């Protein structure tokens, strides 16, 4: 019999809230965090809406009790990871072998971009402290030091599936008796480089995104961080607050179709979802809710929808995309949506797919449009699909 991997704690910060409680309130209230750019300086500030965390870097640093000179990526990560550990009730690691597996795609680019504004005008100007933590792994190491984790620290960067991969990699390390506790998830902050890159691909919506709508026009970028604390059965038994959720299934697959698009038949998403089901020992009809990858682009929603049709027809679970609240947070999305999946199980809730007006006509199902409570949510499937065909699915189950 395989050992259970328990979710002992959760932490989140995004455009809809500074912590899990605030995020849940926004989800209950159907209050999206998308709006006009206020922090990010961009030539597109009046045309492309984004989902920014409503805090300046100095405010985030004060909340995290950290240096204001750190990248926004590191600061967001610190806040969500510390909340997850506090939620788990783990104050000291003691005898537990502990790891920190964090995902991101932007690293310290927010600071680097500011550095080059001055440096390109005069090569004698600019603060080098703004570039020394540019690469993705640096943010992870800074946060691990703040948390006091040193047994195992690594960074995963597989585009938008990054933090989902971080979570199930952590589960594998525990299951193979290499670690006892893993703080796993991901973070990303908004940067001009990212915004301009996605705009070049012509997949950004100039209005608020409408995932799984027939008339969808693209995604809105967002920022944030989301982490779960994974623990072994032995650690779970020692905690004052007993975990009520397990990570029961996970799978990563790749359709190897295109650098930035999924295969038209949805092979990658189908392989990821069916592989996670096989790992969990569950059947499709056991899934009560699917947290969609649901970006709002033509390609993503069509291919993910076809994969869901192929896997679940004729009995479809409730589905929705919480990116309609948070925007697409890239490397953080799998971590944030893992937190939302745990909340769905913990509170018996299903989130609305905001702004859905006309369901995709070629699909035999539609996303939920209202927040619902008192739902029998025992198993949640969460999808995260990234560039290069890197597709990952996680299944969370009630204990």
**328 given a catalytic annotation:** yes
Instruction: Compute how many other C-beta atoms are within 10 angstroms of the C-beta atom of residue 129.
Output: 12
218 backbone φψ class: left, alpha, beta (φ>0; ψ -120 to 50): left
Question: What is the DSSP secondary structure assignment for residue 359, as one 8-state letter?
Answer: B
What is the rounded distance in angstroms from the CA atom of residue 204 to the CA atom of residue 295? Answer: 10
**134 given a catalytic annotation:** no
- Cα dihedral sign, 364-375-22-391: negative
Phi, psi (deg, nearest 5) at residue 250: -165, 150
The two structure tokens encoding residue 289: 């809710």
Catalytic residue from among 136, 209, 245, 293: 293
DSSP structure string for 191-255: -HHHHHHHHHTT-B-SS---TTBTT---B-BB-EEEEEEEE-HHHHHH-SS---EEEEEEEEEE-
Alpha-carbon Rg of the chain, whole angstroms? 20
The two structure tokens encoding residue 256: 């190897």
- Find, among 343, 353, 335, 324, the residue nearest to 392 by Cα: 335
- The set of residues, in sequence order, having a beta carbon less than 8 Å from that of 91 and lying 6+ positions away, is none
Catalytic residue from among 160, 245, 251, 391: 160
- The set of residues, in sequence order, having a beta carbon less than 8 Å from that of 221 and lying 6+ positions away, is 48, 50, 51, 190, 194, 195, 198, 204, 327, 328, 329, 330
- Cα dihedral sign, 94-82-173-153: negative
Catalytic residue from among 133, 134, 328, 379: 328
Q: Is 54 helix (H, G, I), strand (E, B) or coil?
A: coil
**315 given a catalytic annotation:** no
Catalytic residues: 160, 293, 328
């Amino acid at each position: 019999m395989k050992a259970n991997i328990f979710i002992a704690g959760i932490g989140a910060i995004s455009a809809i809230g500074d912590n899990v409680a605030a995020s849940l309130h926004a989800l209950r209230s159907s209050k999206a965090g998308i709006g006009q750019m206020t922090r990010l300086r961009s030539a597109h500030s009046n045309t492309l809406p984004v989902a920014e965390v409503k805090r300046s870097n100095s405010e985030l640093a004060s909340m995290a009790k950290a240096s204001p000179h750190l990248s926004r990526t590191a600061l967001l990560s610190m806040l969500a990871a510390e909340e997850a550990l506090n939620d788990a009730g783990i104050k000291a690691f003691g005898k537990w072998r502990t790891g920190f597996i964090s995902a991101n795609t932007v690293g310290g680019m927010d600071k680097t971009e500011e550095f080059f504004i001055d440096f390109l005008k005069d090569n004698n100007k600019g603060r080098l402290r703004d570039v020394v933590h540019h690469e993705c792994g640096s943010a992870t190491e800074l946060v691990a030091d703040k948390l006091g984790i040193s047994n195992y620290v690594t960074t995963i960067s597989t585009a938008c599936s990054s933090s989902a991969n971080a979570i199930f990699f952590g589960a594998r390390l525990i299951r193979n008796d290499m670690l006892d506790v893993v703080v796993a998830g991901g973070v990303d902050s908004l940067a001009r480089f990212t915004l301009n890159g996605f705009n070049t691909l012509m997949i950004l919506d100039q209005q608020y995104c409408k995932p799984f709508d027939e008339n969808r026009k693209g995604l809105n970028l967002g920022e944030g961080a989301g982490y779960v604390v994974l623990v072994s059965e032995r650690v779970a038994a020692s905690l004052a607050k007993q975990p009520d959720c397990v990570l029961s299934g996970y799978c990563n697959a790749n359709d190897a179709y295109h650098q930035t698009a999924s295969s038209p038949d949805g092979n990658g998403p189908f392989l990821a979802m069916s592989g996670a089901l096989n790992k969990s020992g569950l059947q499709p009809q056991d899934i009560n809710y699917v947290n969609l990858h649901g970006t709002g682009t033509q390609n993503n929603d069509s291919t993910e929808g076809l994969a869901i049709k192929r896997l679940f027809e004729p009995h479809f679970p409730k589905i929705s995309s919480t990116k309609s609240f948070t925007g697409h947070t890239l490397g953080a999305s799998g971590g944030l949506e893992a937190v939302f999946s745990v909340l769905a199980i913990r509170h018996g809730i299903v989130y609305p797919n905001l702004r859905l007006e006309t369901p995709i006509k070629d699909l035999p199902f539609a996303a939920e449009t209202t927040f619902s409570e008192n739902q029998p949510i025992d198993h949640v499937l969460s999808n995260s699909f990234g560039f290069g065909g890197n597709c990952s699915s996680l299944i969370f189950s009630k204990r």
